[in-house]
Structure 1
Amino acid sequence: MQFYREFDWAYGRCDQVSPLIQRVICNNPSPFTYVGTGTYIVGRAEAGARVAVIDPGPHDDAHFEALLNALDGRTVSHILITHTHLDHSPLSTRLSQACGNAPIWSAPLPARTDASAEGQDDSFTPDALLSDGDLIEGDGWTLEVMETPGHASNHLAFALKEENALFSGDHIMGWSTTIVAPPDGDMADYMDSLDKVMARGFDILWPTHGPAITEVAPFLQAYKDHRIERENQVLAQLEAGHSTIAEMVPVLYAAVDQRLWPAASLSVLSHLMKLTKDGRVIAAPAPELSARWTLA
């Protein structure tokens, strides 16, 4: 895949990246967040305008101050959360309090225990819940809610109608493929959500981590093809006699930073769980990390 990794950015700087979008990046780089969490401000860059903030990010004093500086003179009407991992939602309450108790909107908290590398924000409490097709409006902007489970069961994306753009959270990232980690992450859900985004024909995607994706259709097709290829690689590993995830990961992810192998193991598990649902693979004694897997 040809990834999007090069872009002009600096920590704490507010960049006008489109007529209706500004971005401020938090200094929380990691193998899972790339250069850090990109918080988006949606709306006009003028005093008095009503704007939305998407994914305030982690608890970070410098990022909090940078957001307040970027919002100077504007009213935050909505704080929107793509999902409740620790690099996306924790700063929302503090930001709300600093912005006149601006309401925080998200999907319901996950019902399943999260096992992802990012961790779950268990203290998160939204003021209002969102569901597929909901519309959120401000001064000159309209966001449509898209439910996109897969990376997380409560993952949302937000479509900016005026620019035919999608804030894709972690569902689609330009710098890397997305981690799908059971039990909260689900590969079958992820693939369905990917098809849902592909069908919309967006002109540009704004992930929470990394630069915008501008060649949307071919990138999404490559994203989907990668998942299908990985699924076929997992089946090939089973055909070769590798029956455990521990045997598969060093082969499938030989070129990947070994710090990511635990997350990769969960991704392989997600593929195997999907294949089990499809009736192509059998797990013994149950579909879990330590299971032994065979072709059905």
Structure 2
Amino acid sequence: MSDDEIPEFMPTYGVAEKIAEGVRRLTARNGGPLTFRGTNCYLLGEHEVTVIDPGPDDESHVSDLLAAVGAPIRRIVVTHDHADHAGAARRLSELTGAEVIGAAPSPARPFYTPDRVLADGDTVATEPGGLRAIATPGHTANHLCYDLADSGLLFSGDHVMGWSTSVVVPPDGRMADYMASLDRLAAIGPRTYLPGHGDEVIDGLARVAELKRHREAREAAILRALDGGDRTVEDIVAAVYIGLDPSLAAAAALSVAAHADWLEERGLVRKVADRLSRL
């Protein structure tokens, strides 16, 4: 996505902005090439608060969050255990006594130690309504989205965002899982998605369909790049990602690797050492 295609989204840092009845959004000050304007932390409830994705373990951000809530924090719900989403979970729990609930822990990220792990379909009671966990692996193996009962809102973490596609990083992330999880969300029906980065996605179904087309087109481009002979991942990135911002080259290489894994699983390419060839 080029700069002129990135949706306008300029949060007021330090301020919890009302998104819907009983739902506010506080954006962390950790903007960057992979986080856009920063990680969105969602605050559910007015009298007792549930925090969805507390954000990075940064003192100024935690201070912003505590100042914004305006009521006791009872629970901290996590979509996945990347540091920009779950980094502050334990610190915030220690400061407030709130339970940490959500995605399963990963040995690769020991800073995240939930008190309760949610399985697909489990529900967490919050002041605005029940949050139903939806297993959506792909970006990470443990990724969960959350459907807020009777609201038409779905908290989509890093699985579906409006400003960019998700990075799928093997082996924790799998492209086959990512695509299947898009189908899973589509089957739920119309929702407004509240993502981990960027503004809300009003037509969630349209965005899911767009993401599927994007991934299918990327796969086709990778196969075309292999038509002329074997290639390294770096060769494919250069051929497919024309005009890529150099700061995103590593992320592009990871996505190509994830596509290559999925293509190999389906018997369409062969990987030998660091080279790929079409079968």
Unaligned runs of 5+ in 2: none
Query: 1:105: which partner in 2?
Result: 101
Q: Extract structure 1 runs of 4+ deviating beyond 4 A.
A: 1-4
Partner deviation per Cα, 1:207-258 (whole Å, 9 max, x = no partner): 0110000122222111100000001111111112252111110121122211
Shift, 1:90, TM fit: 1.2
Shift, 1:8, TM fit: 4.8
State the secondary structure of the residue aligned to 1:259: helix
Partner deviation per Cα, 1:49-100 (whole Å, 9 max, x = no partner): 222101111122222112112222x23222011111110111111211222x
**Contact 1:12-1:62 within 8 A present in 2 as well:** no
Residue 55 (1) aligns with residue 43 (2): no
CA 1:222–1:262: 2 relative to 1, 3 Å: same
**Contact 2:154-2:194 within 8 A present in 1 as well:** yes
Shift, 1:33, TM fit: 0.3
**Contact 1:25-1:38 within 8 A present in 2 as well:** yes
- The number of equivalent residue pairs is 277
Residue 292 (1) aligns with residue 275 (2): yes
Residue 238 (1) aligns with residue 235 (2): no
Query: 2:37: which partner in 1?
Result: 35
**Contact 1:31-1:260 within 8 A present in 2 as well:** yes
**Alpha-carbon distance between aligned partners in 2 of 1:206 and 1:4, rounded to the nearest angstrom:** 17
> Which residue identity lines up with residue 263 of structure 2 in the other structure?
L
Give TM-score scaled by structure 1 length: 0.89
Shift, 1:124, TM fit: 1.4
Query: 2:156: which partner in 1?
Result: 168
Unaligned runs of 5+ in 1: 114-120, 286-290
Residue 22 (1) aligns with residue 20 (2): no
Q: What's the % identity of the aligned pairs?
A: 38
> Which residue identity lines up with residue 28 of structure 1 in the other structure?
N
TM alignment of 1:245-256, pairs within 5 A? 245-256=233-244
State the secondary structure of the residue aligned to 2:223: helix
Query: 2:8: which partner in 1?
Result: 6
Query: 2:88: which partner in 1?
Result: 91
**Alpha-carbon distance between aligned partners in 2 of 1:137 and 1:108, rounded to the nearest angstrom:** 19
Supply the RMSD in Å over aligned alpha carbons.
1.6
**Alpha-carbon distance between aligned partners in 2 of 1:60 and 1:198, rounded to the nearest angstrom:** 35
Q: Tell me which moved more, 191-200 or 251-260.
A: 251-260
State the secondary structure of the residue aligned to 1:268: helix
